[in-house]
Amino acid sequence: MNTYLLPVLAIVIGVIIAFVTKKQKSIGTKLLLSFSGAFLLALTLFDLLPEMYHGLGAKQTGLFIMCGILLQIILEFLSKGIEHGHVQTHKEDKEFPWVLFISLCIHSFLEGFPIHHHNDMIYGVLIHKIPIATLITIFLLQSRYSKVQIISFLIIFTTMTPLGTYISNNMILATEYVDFVNAIVVGIFLHIATTILFETGEGHTFNLSKLVVICFGVFIANLI
């Protein structure tokens, strides 16, 4: 049951943080994003990636990981990189961002697949989704979209990861190809996490704090 509830809880926490920080992208949010990137990357390397090579073999695993990286590049082109902290608000734009919405939903849906066979990955997804939910909420609150549009956006986005987990658990066709999808997700995670980690911060003090939380994220992942 936690595999379905924890991703939902992550969105709720992210929305609360967005309101507490008064709709601004704070230093704390940036550090949480760095921690989540390190934590997700470490869990992917420690847990998910080795099983992909064991289940599919080196050639196929490498191929589908590259497909995942390319897919995430396409999704980030459509979403403008909000998955790793880039938020660009256009307050004069009243048209609902369908391209952004669809790309984020695809990303979130695919995140649910590796949770089925890799229980530890639920924590990686949980930590990853909190700052992302915060940034998405900040983006929506600073926009001129209606409350109905904002709430609908968040509700549908929230359901995507549990939906991916449910399908990977219960659909026969999905279970036959789950290893291939998981390898694609590995590529997505690797791209997102490394992008977060290698982006430069604002000044030496922030970069030092970022280094500390990155090391802490890897350490915590190693304990799980």
- pLDDT per residue over 81-96, tens digit each? 666 555 655 555 667 7
User: What's the CA dihedral at 196, 222, 213, 29 to 10 degrees?
Assistant: 60
DSSP string, 117-149: T-TTHHHHHHHHHHHHHHHHHHHHHTS---HHH
CA 219 to chain centre: 20
Residues 6+ apart with CB under 8 A from 160: 105, 108, 109, 111, 112
From 86, 142, 110, select the one nearest 7 (Cα to Cα): 110
d(CA 37, CA 48): 15
| pLDDT > 90: percent of the chain | 22
d(CA 185, CA 116): 13
Supply φ then ψ for residue 189, to 5 degrees: -60, -40
pLDDT in tens, 60-74: 888 999 999 999 999
Burial of 170 (0-12, 13-18, 19+ CB in 10 A): exposed
Residue 196 has pLDDT above 80, yes or no: yes
d(CA 114, CA 45): 13
pTM score: 0.84
Segment 139-162 shows an average pLDDT of 88
